[in-house]
Each structure stands twice: as structure tokens, then as C-alpha cells.
Amino acid sequence: MIRSNLLKYSLAATLPVTLMIVLTFVAPRAARADDGPRVIEITAKRFGFSPNQITLKKGETVKLRLTTEDVTHGFFMRALKIDEEIDPGKTTEITLTPQTAGTFLTICDHFCGANHGNMNMKIVVE
């Protein structure tokens, strides 16, 4: 009897503390995920990117998440200082805050086959 009372008492004492810990660490993390940069998923596949055009706002930070469905591709745009490789089985993340409006042709600069030279997509910054 004493033992079960003790158990109830210790549960009653630790539950609010546990809840506080959960709310302190979990709630802000969920809120932060909502506040983070817009995430844009881009898939590379011989010989194109999907989507093949994205529109960004000047000064807006975005996170590009790039994956490939087949072989290694490149993702290169000099003016936006992007020079990355997209390897099979990995996600390449690029955080970008474009400061200049314009249309930027982004190319695959890693030879991936016969039509490699036509593999590109547009990044439009408004």
C-alpha cells in the first residue's frame, strides 16, 4: 500500500516536469520548422530537371533540395554562386538568397550522357 502510494506520488510529481520538458524542447522546434526557409525539391534525371523552372523572390532565403533519379549530375550557375554535384542516394542542399532579379540558366556541368549539353533549368528571380 505504501509502495503504491509512493508510486502514485512520484508519478504525480514527475508528470508535470516531463510535460514541461517536452513542451520546452518539442514545441519551439516545430515552430522553427514553419519559420525556416521555403524548401524547393528538385529532381535531376537524364537529361533534365524537374521542375525545369522555379521562381524566387529577390532577398528571400530558400533551401533547394536536389536529388537524382539515375546518375550523378551537376548543378551550376555562376552568377548565383551555385556549383554542386547531385549524387545518387544523397540529397544536396543549397541555401540561397538571391540578390539580383533576372533569369538564370542553371546547367548540369557533370557529363551524364549524350544529351547532357541540353540539361538545364531556369531560376527566375523577381
For Cu ion, give the closer residue by CB, 40 or 43: 43
For Cu ion, give the closer residue by CB, 77 or 108: 108
Least gap, CB of 84 to Cu ion (angstroms): 12
Burial 54-77 (b: 16+ CB within 10 A, else e): bebeeeeebebebbbeeeebbbbb
Least gap, CB of 111 to Cu ion (angstroms): 8
Least gap, CB of 83 to Cu ion (angstroms): 14
For Cu ion, give the closer residue by CB, 119 or 125: 119
Q: What is the DSSP letter of 71?
A: S
CA distance 8 to 12: 6
- CA–chain centroid gap for 51, Å, is 15
Give residues in contact with Cu ion (CB under 5 A).
73, 108, 112, 119
